[in-house]
A and B are shown apart, each in its own frame.
Chain A
Amino acid sequence: MNCIIIDDEATARAIISQLCANEKHLHVIQEFPNAIQAIKYLNQNEVDLIFLDIHMPDFTGFDFIETLKNPPKIILTTSDSNFAIQAFEYECIVDYLVKPVLQDRFNKAIEKAKSSFEPSKVVSNLNREETTLGNDLYVNIDRRLIKIDIPSIYLIEAKGDYILIKTEDKNYTVHSTLKKIEDKLPEHLFLKVHRSFVINTKKIIDIEDNSVLIKKDVIPVSRSNRPELMKRLNLL
């Protein structure tokens, strides 16, 4: 994989470059101290992967991504863990590394990047009830695999042998279990707050005693799940 590194800090660029050197499939072809220079480069060159710092003066990593029409795969590098949820909104972002980056964690990110280049397993696996591909979840409804954008899901409710998946645009009733769908969703975004409910923590409006408001739905939070929910919140 040909990659570039964008970071305003020379130390950070040198470290990422060294981590790449330890991985035989990675070739660092350019390093940039700011996003503007990288944009000029990308106008004339193609790369497979970008290591991108979020926190840069004038033009942030997210500003940079917004300028790209067809962004390559991106691994974010940052000293802040606060942007993780925002990062998930971009399909091109395959992972999020918090500095200082350790080799083992870096290797995992590279594995994710590699697997994101692999062809979809969806077509060859039509009998499964649901399967995921990047930010998408495919659910089997009336023998059709219907794609659901994972970040748009705000609530999943168990209803006997079925689950009700609520998204920004539409609701889906699928023959499946809460456990099965929970295994397919990103852990950092979704949380089981009750034996019958999994919520998208990013969509929480407020929390009161033992319930949480998501959109217009008031969802019960069981006593055993409450500590994990509170841990996920960026409490002041």
Chain B
Amino acid sequence: METPNLSYITSMSGGNLEFENKIITIIKEEFPTEKEEFFNNLNKYNFKLAAGNVHKLKHKISILGLEKSYGIAVAFENNLLEGNSDLSKEFESILNTITNYLKQL
């Protein structure tokens, strides 16, 4: 499994720690809500709404440098739009990885 990192955020900040902290704070606030919404929709078989949640989450996946996971998220979003939940376990694992990483920040 890939490890999340802050390379993108630091490349954007140009050494501006205030910005780095701001982005991390926003991700920490936004991610759990988006994750919860995703699981709610998935558990209710609202696959189109769940696809919308994955769409938002995949931006954070890419921000945290998870390139392979991003590919899985793209495929999973397409699956949901087509009405099936294949790759849900893999996607859940990515979300867990990010959750654990954000706790350490």
Q: Which residues of A contact B (CB under 8 A)?
A: 8-12, 14-15, 18-19, 22, 55, 57, 79-80, 99-100, 102-103
Number of B residues contacting the other chain (C-beta, 8 Å)?
21
Asked whether B23 lies within 8 Å of A11 as measured between CB atoms, the reply is yes
What is the minimal beta-carbon distance from B105 to any residue of chain A, in angstroms?
14
Q: Which residues of B contact A (CB under 8 A)?
A: 8, 11-14, 16, 19, 22-23, 26-27, 29-30, 52, 55-56, 58-60, 62-63
**Most A CB within 10 A of own CB, among B12, B26, B29, B62:** B12
Question: With the chains together, A96 CA to B58 CA distance in Å?
Answer: 18
Question: What are the residues of chain A within 8 A of B13 when measuring CB–CB?
Answer: 18
Q: Given that A9-B30, A57-B52 are contacting pairs, would A18 and B12 also be in contact in the complex, using a CB cutoff of 8 Å?
A: yes
What is the minimal beta-carbon distance from A234 to any residue of chain B, in angstroms?
12
Contact of B26 among A14, A55, A100, A103 (CB under 8 A): A14
Question: With the chains together, A55 CA to B56 CA distance in Å?
Answer: 9
Output the nearest chain B residue to A98 by Cβ-Cβ distance: B62
Question: What are the residues of chain A within 8 A of B12 when measuring CB–CB?
Answer: 15, 18-19, 103
Contact of A11 among B19, B30, B52 (CB under 8 A): B30
Asked whether A11 lies within 8 Å of B27 as measured between CB atoms, the reply is yes
Question: What are the residues of chain B within 8 A of A79 when measuring CB–CB?
Answer: 55, 58-59, 62
Asked whether A11 lies within 8 Å of B26 as measured between CB atoms, the reply is yes
Question: What are the residues of chain A within 8 A of B58 when measuring CB–CB?
Answer: 79
Asked whether B22 lies within 8 Å of A14 as measured between CB atoms, the reply is yes
